[in-house]
Chains A and B, each alone.
Chain A
Amino acid sequence: MTQSLEHTKEIEEKTVFGFWVYLMTDCILFGVLFAVYAVLCKNTFGGPSAKELFSLPLALGESAVLLISSFTSGLAMIGTKPEDKKKVLFWFIVTFLLGVAFLAMEIFEFVHLIERGNGWHKSGFLSAYFTLVGTHGLHIAFGLLWMIVLLPSVAIYGLTAESIRRLFCLKLFWHFLDVVWIFLFTVVYLMGAL
Protein backbone atom coordinates (compact mmCIF):
# COMPACT_ATOMS: atom_id res chain seq x y z
CA MET A 1 0.00 0.00 0.00
CA THR A 2 2.80 2.40 0.91
CA GLN A 3 4.54 1.70 -2.36
CA SER A 4 1.38 2.47 -4.31
CA LEU A 5 0.93 5.73 -2.42
CA GLU A 6 4.49 6.81 -3.07
CA HIS A 7 4.14 5.85 -6.71
CA THR A 8 1.01 7.96 -7.01
CA LYS A 9 2.74 10.91 -5.36
CA GLU A 10 5.72 10.56 -7.67
CA ILE A 11 3.50 10.61 -10.76
CA GLU A 12 1.65 13.58 -9.34
CA GLU A 13 4.84 15.55 -8.73
CA LYS A 14 6.27 14.77 -12.16
CA THR A 15 3.06 15.58 -14.00
CA VAL A 16 2.50 18.86 -12.19
CA PHE A 17 6.14 19.88 -12.72
CA GLY A 18 5.91 18.96 -16.40
CA PHE A 19 2.85 21.13 -16.73
CA TRP A 20 4.66 23.94 -14.95
CA VAL A 21 7.50 23.73 -17.49
CA TYR A 22 4.92 24.00 -20.27
CA LEU A 23 3.53 27.14 -18.59
CA MET A 24 7.06 28.59 -18.55
CA THR A 25 7.34 28.09 -22.31
CA ASP A 26 3.95 29.73 -22.69
CA CYS A 27 5.36 32.75 -20.83
CA ILE A 28 8.07 33.05 -23.47
CA LEU A 29 5.41 32.88 -26.16
CA PHE A 30 3.48 35.74 -24.62
CA GLY A 31 6.70 37.65 -23.94
CA VAL A 32 7.55 37.56 -27.61
CA LEU A 33 4.05 38.73 -28.57
CA PHE A 34 4.43 41.58 -26.09
CA ALA A 35 7.74 42.51 -27.70
CA VAL A 36 6.05 42.62 -31.12
CA TYR A 37 3.28 44.79 -29.70
CA ALA A 38 5.82 47.11 -28.08
CA VAL A 39 7.52 47.58 -31.45
CA LEU A 40 4.35 48.06 -33.46
CA CYS A 41 1.98 49.86 -31.09
CA LYS A 42 2.74 53.27 -32.58
CA ASN A 43 2.42 52.09 -36.19
CA THR A 44 -1.14 53.15 -36.73
CA PHE A 45 -0.70 53.79 -40.48
CA GLY A 46 -2.74 56.97 -40.21
CA GLY A 47 -5.55 55.10 -38.50
CA PRO A 48 -6.81 55.36 -34.94
CA SER A 49 -4.46 54.80 -32.01
CA ALA A 50 -4.85 52.78 -28.82
CA LYS A 51 -6.05 55.83 -26.95
CA GLU A 52 -8.88 56.39 -29.42
CA LEU A 53 -9.96 52.79 -29.74
CA PHE A 54 -9.88 51.18 -26.33
CA SER A 55 -12.48 51.51 -23.64
CA LEU A 56 -10.78 51.57 -20.25
CA PRO A 57 -13.92 50.76 -18.25
CA LEU A 58 -14.53 47.66 -20.37
CA ALA A 59 -10.93 46.55 -19.88
CA LEU A 60 -11.28 47.11 -16.13
CA GLY A 61 -14.43 45.00 -16.18
CA GLU A 62 -12.58 42.23 -17.96
CA SER A 63 -9.77 42.44 -15.40
CA ALA A 64 -12.22 42.24 -12.51
CA VAL A 65 -14.01 39.21 -13.97
CA LEU A 66 -10.77 37.36 -14.63
CA LEU A 67 -9.28 38.19 -11.23
CA ILE A 68 -12.38 36.95 -9.44
CA SER A 69 -12.35 33.77 -11.53
CA SER A 70 -8.71 33.19 -10.58
CA PHE A 71 -9.70 33.59 -6.94
CA THR A 72 -12.65 31.18 -7.26
CA SER A 73 -10.45 28.55 -8.90
CA GLY A 74 -8.26 28.76 -5.79
CA LEU A 75 -11.36 28.35 -3.61
CA ALA A 76 -12.28 25.28 -5.64
CA MET A 77 -8.96 23.58 -4.99
CA ILE A 78 -9.36 24.09 -1.24
CA GLY A 79 -12.16 21.56 -1.63
CA THR A 80 -9.65 18.83 -2.48
CA LYS A 81 -8.11 18.75 1.00
CA PRO A 82 -10.21 17.63 2.86
CA GLU A 83 -12.15 16.18 -0.05
CA ASP A 84 -15.41 17.97 -0.72
CA LYS A 85 -16.65 17.24 -4.22
CA LYS A 86 -19.53 19.69 -4.07
CA LYS A 87 -17.23 22.58 -3.15
CA VAL A 88 -14.82 21.76 -5.97
CA LEU A 89 -17.57 21.53 -8.57
CA PHE A 90 -19.43 24.60 -7.35
CA TRP A 91 -16.44 26.92 -7.39
CA PHE A 92 -15.12 25.60 -10.69
CA ILE A 93 -18.53 26.17 -12.27
CA VAL A 94 -18.41 29.74 -10.96
CA THR A 95 -14.91 30.04 -12.45
CA PHE A 96 -16.24 28.72 -15.76
CA LEU A 97 -19.12 31.21 -15.87
CA LEU A 98 -16.78 34.10 -15.10
CA GLY A 99 -14.46 32.87 -17.83
CA VAL A 100 -17.32 32.81 -20.30
CA ALA A 101 -18.25 36.35 -19.25
CA PHE A 102 -14.65 37.48 -19.82
CA LEU A 103 -14.52 35.88 -23.27
CA ALA A 104 -17.89 37.39 -24.18
CA MET A 105 -16.63 40.87 -23.25
CA GLU A 106 -13.48 40.37 -25.27
CA ILE A 107 -15.33 39.05 -28.32
CA PHE A 108 -17.68 42.01 -28.06
CA GLU A 109 -14.65 44.30 -28.11
CA PHE A 110 -13.19 42.54 -31.15
CA VAL A 111 -16.45 42.53 -33.09
CA HIS A 112 -16.95 46.22 -32.33
CA LEU A 113 -13.47 47.02 -33.65
CA ILE A 114 -13.82 44.93 -36.79
CA GLU A 115 -17.27 46.35 -37.59
CA ARG A 116 -15.82 49.85 -37.64
CA GLY A 117 -13.12 48.67 -40.04
CA ASN A 118 -10.40 48.53 -37.36
CA GLY A 119 -9.49 44.92 -37.93
CA TRP A 120 -6.02 43.37 -37.84
CA HIS A 121 -5.35 44.21 -41.46
CA LYS A 122 -5.64 47.93 -40.93
CA SER A 123 -2.27 48.67 -39.35
CA GLY A 124 0.76 47.11 -37.68
CA PHE A 125 -0.56 48.28 -34.34
CA LEU A 126 -3.89 46.52 -34.83
CA SER A 127 -2.21 43.37 -36.16
CA ALA A 128 -0.08 43.19 -33.03
CA TYR A 129 -3.05 43.95 -30.80
CA PHE A 130 -5.31 41.26 -32.24
CA THR A 131 -2.50 38.70 -32.16
CA LEU A 132 -1.52 39.39 -28.56
CA VAL A 133 -4.97 39.75 -27.04
CA GLY A 134 -6.38 37.09 -29.36
CA THR A 135 -3.77 34.55 -28.28
CA HIS A 136 -4.67 35.19 -24.66
CA GLY A 137 -8.35 34.83 -25.48
CA LEU A 138 -7.65 31.58 -27.28
CA HIS A 139 -5.91 30.28 -24.18
CA ILE A 140 -8.94 31.26 -22.11
CA ALA A 141 -11.18 29.40 -24.56
CA PHE A 142 -9.04 26.27 -24.24
CA GLY A 143 -9.22 26.58 -20.45
CA LEU A 144 -13.00 26.74 -20.66
CA LEU A 145 -13.03 23.67 -22.93
CA TRP A 146 -10.82 21.91 -20.40
CA MET A 147 -13.36 22.71 -17.68
CA ILE A 148 -16.24 21.43 -19.81
CA VAL A 149 -14.40 18.13 -20.23
CA LEU A 150 -12.94 17.73 -16.74
CA LEU A 151 -15.79 18.86 -14.47
CA PRO A 152 -18.37 16.25 -15.62
CA SER A 153 -15.66 13.60 -15.20
CA VAL A 154 -15.13 14.75 -11.61
CA ALA A 155 -18.88 14.80 -11.04
CA ILE A 156 -19.24 11.23 -12.23
CA TYR A 157 -16.07 9.55 -10.94
CA GLY A 158 -15.46 11.71 -7.87
CA LEU A 159 -12.22 13.14 -6.50
CA THR A 160 -9.63 10.50 -7.33
CA ALA A 161 -5.90 11.15 -7.20
CA GLU A 162 -5.96 11.56 -10.98
CA SER A 163 -8.81 14.04 -11.09
CA ILE A 164 -7.24 16.11 -8.31
CA ARG A 165 -3.99 16.19 -10.27
CA ARG A 166 -5.83 17.32 -13.40
CA LEU A 167 -7.83 19.94 -11.52
CA PHE A 168 -4.59 21.24 -10.03
CA CYS A 169 -3.04 21.62 -13.50
CA LEU A 170 -6.19 23.40 -14.67
CA LYS A 171 -5.93 25.74 -11.69
CA LEU A 172 -2.26 26.48 -12.50
CA PHE A 173 -3.25 27.22 -16.10
CA TRP A 174 -6.03 29.56 -15.03
CA HIS A 175 -3.85 31.48 -12.55
CA PHE A 176 -1.17 31.81 -15.23
CA LEU A 177 -3.69 33.34 -17.64
CA ASP A 178 -4.60 35.95 -15.05
CA VAL A 179 -0.93 36.81 -14.51
CA VAL A 180 -0.52 37.32 -18.28
CA TRP A 181 -3.66 39.45 -18.27
CA ILE A 182 -2.13 41.76 -15.64
CA PHE A 183 0.54 42.70 -18.16
CA LEU A 184 -1.92 42.80 -21.05
CA PHE A 185 -4.15 45.21 -19.16
CA THR A 186 -1.20 47.37 -18.11
CA VAL A 187 0.71 47.47 -21.39
CA VAL A 188 -2.11 47.50 -23.93
CA TYR A 189 -4.94 49.31 -22.20
CA LEU A 190 -3.40 51.47 -19.46
CA MET A 191 -0.23 52.48 -21.26
CA GLY A 192 -2.22 52.87 -24.46
CA ALA A 193 -4.41 55.43 -22.76
CA LEU A 194 -1.55 57.61 -21.53
Chain B
Amino acid sequence: MQTIKKQQILLGFIISAILTLVSYYLVQQGWLKGKSALYILGAFAVAQAFAQLTLFLQLGKETSPKWNLLTFLFMLAILVIVVSGSIWIMISINYNLMPAMEGM
Protein backbone atom coordinates (compact mmCIF):
# COMPACT_ATOMS: atom_id res chain seq x y z
CA MET B 1 0.00 0.00 0.00
CA GLN B 2 1.67 3.13 -1.17
CA THR B 3 0.61 6.67 -0.46
CA ILE B 4 -1.21 8.29 -3.32
CA LYS B 5 -0.98 11.94 -4.15
CA LYS B 6 -3.98 13.92 -5.22
CA GLN B 7 -2.21 15.25 -8.32
CA GLN B 8 -1.58 11.70 -9.46
CA ILE B 9 -5.19 10.61 -9.46
CA LEU B 10 -6.35 13.94 -10.82
CA LEU B 11 -3.95 13.53 -13.74
CA GLY B 12 -5.19 9.97 -14.26
CA PHE B 13 -8.77 11.16 -14.28
CA ILE B 14 -8.11 13.96 -16.78
CA ILE B 15 -6.10 11.75 -19.16
CA SER B 16 -8.79 9.04 -19.04
CA ALA B 17 -11.56 11.55 -19.62
CA ILE B 18 -9.76 13.06 -22.63
CA LEU B 19 -9.00 9.68 -24.20
CA THR B 20 -12.60 8.50 -23.70
CA LEU B 21 -14.07 11.66 -25.20
CA VAL B 22 -11.67 11.68 -28.16
CA SER B 23 -12.37 8.07 -29.14
CA TYR B 24 -16.12 8.59 -28.62
CA TYR B 25 -16.05 11.70 -30.77
CA LEU B 26 -14.05 10.00 -33.51
CA VAL B 27 -16.63 7.21 -33.76
CA GLN B 28 -19.65 9.43 -33.41
CA GLN B 29 -18.49 11.78 -36.14
CA GLY B 30 -17.80 8.79 -38.36
CA TRP B 31 -14.21 9.72 -39.11
CA LEU B 32 -12.89 6.22 -38.57
CA LYS B 33 -13.19 3.59 -41.21
CA GLY B 34 -12.16 0.01 -41.79
CA LYS B 35 -9.44 -1.99 -40.13
CA SER B 36 -7.38 1.04 -39.14
CA ALA B 37 -10.32 2.20 -37.03
CA LEU B 38 -10.00 -0.93 -34.89
CA TYR B 39 -6.30 -0.33 -34.35
CA ILE B 40 -6.76 3.34 -33.49
CA LEU B 41 -9.56 2.63 -31.00
CA GLY B 42 -7.51 -0.22 -29.56
CA ALA B 43 -4.54 2.10 -29.12
CA PHE B 44 -6.69 4.65 -27.30
CA ALA B 45 -8.03 1.92 -25.01
CA VAL B 46 -4.56 0.59 -24.25
CA ALA B 47 -3.29 4.11 -23.56
CA GLN B 48 -6.14 4.81 -21.18
CA ALA B 49 -5.69 1.46 -19.44
CA PHE B 50 -1.97 2.22 -19.08
CA ALA B 51 -2.75 5.65 -17.58
CA GLN B 52 -5.20 4.11 -15.11
CA LEU B 53 -2.89 1.23 -14.23
CA THR B 54 0.05 3.50 -13.46
CA LEU B 55 -1.77 6.48 -11.94
CA PHE B 56 -4.73 4.85 -10.14
CA LEU B 57 -3.41 1.40 -9.43
CA GLN B 58 0.22 2.50 -9.15
CA LEU B 59 1.48 -0.48 -11.09
CA GLY B 60 5.25 -0.66 -11.06
CA LYS B 61 5.59 2.08 -8.47
CA GLU B 62 6.22 -0.28 -5.59
CA THR B 63 9.57 -0.84 -3.95
CA SER B 64 11.58 -3.83 -5.14
CA PRO B 65 10.84 -6.70 -5.43
CA LYS B 66 8.04 -5.68 -7.76
CA TRP B 67 5.71 -8.60 -7.28
CA ASN B 68 2.61 -6.73 -8.44
CA LEU B 69 4.26 -5.76 -11.72
CA LEU B 70 5.58 -9.28 -12.24
CA THR B 71 2.22 -10.97 -11.72
CA PHE B 72 0.59 -8.39 -13.95
CA LEU B 73 3.06 -9.05 -16.78
CA PHE B 74 2.59 -12.79 -16.38
CA MET B 75 -1.19 -12.35 -16.55
CA LEU B 76 -0.73 -10.27 -19.69
CA ALA B 77 1.38 -12.98 -21.31
CA ILE B 78 -1.20 -15.67 -20.54
CA LEU B 79 -4.02 -13.39 -21.67
CA VAL B 80 -2.40 -12.56 -25.01
CA ILE B 81 -1.71 -16.24 -25.72
CA VAL B 82 -5.20 -17.42 -24.75
CA VAL B 83 -7.17 -14.62 -26.43
CA SER B 84 -5.19 -14.27 -29.66
CA GLY B 85 -4.79 -18.05 -29.91
CA SER B 86 -8.51 -18.64 -29.47
CA ILE B 87 -9.47 -16.00 -32.00
CA TRP B 88 -6.90 -17.34 -34.49
CA ILE B 89 -8.28 -20.87 -34.09
CA MET B 90 -11.88 -19.73 -34.50
CA ILE B 91 -11.06 -17.74 -37.63
CA SER B 92 -9.26 -20.76 -39.02
CA ILE B 93 -12.15 -23.12 -38.24
CA ASN B 94 -14.61 -20.66 -39.71
CA TYR B 95 -12.59 -20.49 -42.91
CA ASN B 96 -12.08 -24.23 -43.21
CA LEU B 97 -15.68 -25.15 -42.50
CA MET B 98 -17.26 -22.56 -44.73
CA PRO B 99 -19.80 -24.16 -47.04
CA ALA B 100 -18.63 -24.48 -50.64
CA MET B 101 -20.20 -22.22 -53.25
CA GLU B 102 -22.67 -23.91 -55.50
CA GLY B 103 -22.48 -23.89 -59.27
CA MET B 104 -18.68 -23.56 -59.37
Distance to closest chain A CB from B86 (angstroms): 5
B94 and chain A: residue at smallest CB distance: A39
A67 at the interface (CB under 8 A from B): yes
- Cross-chain pair count, CB within 8 angstroms: 113
A57 vs chain B, min Cβ distance (A): 8
Asked if B96 is an interface residue, CB under 8 A from chain A, the answer is: no
Please tell me which one of the listed residues A75, A77, A186 contacts residue B44 in the complex, with CB atoms under 8 A apart: A186
Residues of B within 8 A of A5 (CB): none
Interface string of A79-108 (1 = CB under 8 A from B): 001000000000000000000000000000
The answer to whether A78 touches B57, judged by C-beta atoms less than 8 angstroms apart, is no
A31 within 8 A of B: yes
Is the C-beta of A136 less than 8 angstroms from some C-beta in chain B? Answer: no
Closest to B68 in A: A20
Number of interface residues of A (CB under 8 A): 46
The prevalent SS among residues of B at the interface is helix
Stretch in contact with the other chain, from A111-119, A125-133, A148-156, A176-184: A176-184
* Contact across chains for A17 and B44 when beta carbons are under 8 A apart: no
- Chain B interfacial residues counted at CB < 8 A: 43
A147 close to chain B: CB less than 8 A:
no
Distance from A172 Cβ to chain B, minimum over Cβ atoms (Å): 7
Most interface-central of B27, B72, B74 (chain A CB within 10 A): B27
B48 near A182 with CB under 8 A, answer yes
- CB atoms of A27 and B79 under 8 A apart: yes
CA distance A25 to B87 in the complex (A): 20
Contact present for B1 and A56 (CB under 8 Å): no
Would you call B32 and A194 a contact (CB within 8 A)? yes
Q: Which of B38, B57, B68, B90 has the most CB of A within 10 A?
A: B57
Q: Is B101 positioned at the interface, with any CB of A under 8 Å from its CB?
A: no
Contact A186 B42 (CB under 8 A): yes
Decide if B45 touches A182 in the complex (CB within 8 Å): yes
Mark out the residues of chain B between 45 and 62 whose CB falls within 8 Å of any chain A CB in the assembled complex: 45, 48-49, 52-53, 56-57
A183 contact from B27, B45, B68, B90, Cβ within 8 A = B45
A16 contacts partner chain B, Cβ-Cβ < 8 Å: yes
Contacts of B78 in A (CB 8 A): 28
User: Which of B13, B72, B83, B90 is A34 in contact with, Cβ under 8 Å?
Assistant: B83
Closest 5 pairs between A and B when the two form their complex, measured CB to CB: A74-B9, A24-B75, A186-B45, A71-B13, A31-B79
10 contacts between A and B (CB under 8 A): A13-B1, A27-B79, A32-B82, A35-B83, A39-B87, A39-B90, A67-B17, A165-B1, A179-B49, A187-B45
